[in-house]
Every structure is written in structure tokens, then in C-alpha cells.
Amino acid sequence: MPDKFQSVLHFRPPIEKAAVVGRVIAKLPLLTAHSLVPANYAEAAWREATGSVIGDLHHTTFPPPVNDQWWAAEFMALAVPSAGSRVLIVNTPTTPVGEAWSWLTQLAEELADSMGIDFAQITGQTVTPAGKVKGGNPLGPEVAPGRPPQALGPWTYFGPHRLDEDGLRAGLSALPAARSSATAKGGWVLQASAQYSADVPNGLLQAYAKAFGVPRPRWLGIP
């Protein structure tokens, strides 16, 4: 299992950093409904919404990971010029195994639907003892608008505009996955397996390439 799950939510451009941070701050009631509350040291950031690093939220019921004081979700807003967007990055622990993944995918879907997200992905990320980062989501041309994404992970969200402008609805509807279906607000979730898995879903990747007439996408899952 990776050290953490990394969620990257792409906002539809053009949008300024202040607007991104403001939208995230406005979702604090939704986050609280999913058992997340600002850490004491992050209360000012969540109240004032001034920086790119918005701050940590603590889960009120999940037990802290080993060697950590809290179960914390880290929120950061960044500009990604190579993808033509701004993103919200959320890093969360992978424990409790199973429950953390189910909780995160539900939260990510609700956030994406309610904030007008254009595209989002979740996968694993690990830092080796030597300090090398393994995994994580691409932020550049591989996932930029204008064509089907060239990289897929365990969980992917497409916003309504991305679906229509890139002509993705029909192809997505026929893919062999644990879930490939519409969301409550007209987006779409493509989830390779019910729980997080690094196993390469060859059938899904081949079907994706065939459905959209593109090369087989790169798989982002890591053990």
C-alpha cells in the first residue's frame, strides 16, 4: 500500500488563485460533514484563505497512522501552466485500509461535482527511504483538455464540460470497470476497481484505447 493517496482536482480555466482558494474554503461545511475539521495550527489559513497551502484538516474518527499524531488531510492550491489550469491537491493517509479509500472517493466526487471541477484523479504516492517520490498524478499535457487523458489511475472524474468538449461520454459508458457512470451533477466517475489496487487493469486500458482511438494510456497505480 502506498504511503498516501494523492487527489488532484483541476479547475476549469480561466480561474484565479483567489477564486480557487475561495471555492475550497466555501466547502468547509461539506468537509465537516465528512468528519474533517481544521487543525488548530491551520484554523487561520482556513478562515483567511490567503495562501497556496490552505492547511490541514483532521479526521475526527479515523485513527492516526503509525508515528503520526493525527489523521490529517493536506490541502494545497497550485497553478499548472502546462495543463492550462489550477489544481487543488489533497494528500491523505491510506489507513484505515479499505475504509480510507471508500471515504475518499465519495468525498472527491462530491467536491468535484459541487466545485465545478473539470477533471480529477486519485492514485497512490510513496516517498522512498532515499527521498525519491514514486507515484502521484500527472499535471501536464497528459491530462490537459482537448483529447482523452493519456494517463489513467484507480479513480478518475470528468466534469460535464470536459465530457462534452472532448466527446467522452459514449466511450466511457462502455468501459469494463468497477464503476463507469454519471454523477449526480452530470460529471462522470471511472473507477478501475472497488478498492485501491496497483494491479494494471489491462482490459480497461485496452478498451479505453479502442473506444477513443488513442494509444493505450499510462497506468498510474503503484503498490
Read off the pLDDT of residues 70-97 as tens digits, 9 standing for 90 and up.
Answer: 999 999 999 988 777 899 999 999 999 9
The rounded percent of the chain whose pLDDT value lies above 70 is 98
Using pLDDT thresholds of 50, 70 and 90, give the confidence band for residue 41. Answer: confident
Look up residue 34 and give its DSSP letter. T
Match 489496487 to its residue by C-alpha cell: 197
Does the CA dihedral 45-47-50-54 come out positive or negative?
A: positive
Could you give phi then psi for residue 74, rounded to 5 degrees? Answer: -95, 130
**6: its cell numbers:** 494523492
- Alpha helix positions (H), 40-195: 43-48, 99-115, 160-165, 169-173
Alpha-carbon span 36 to 59, nearest angstrom: 5
DSSP bridge partners of 79: 86
Cβ-based neighbours of 159, under 8 Å, separated by 6 or more: 12, 112, 116, 117, 118, 119, 187
Q: In 3-state terms, what secondary structure has residue 138?
A: coil
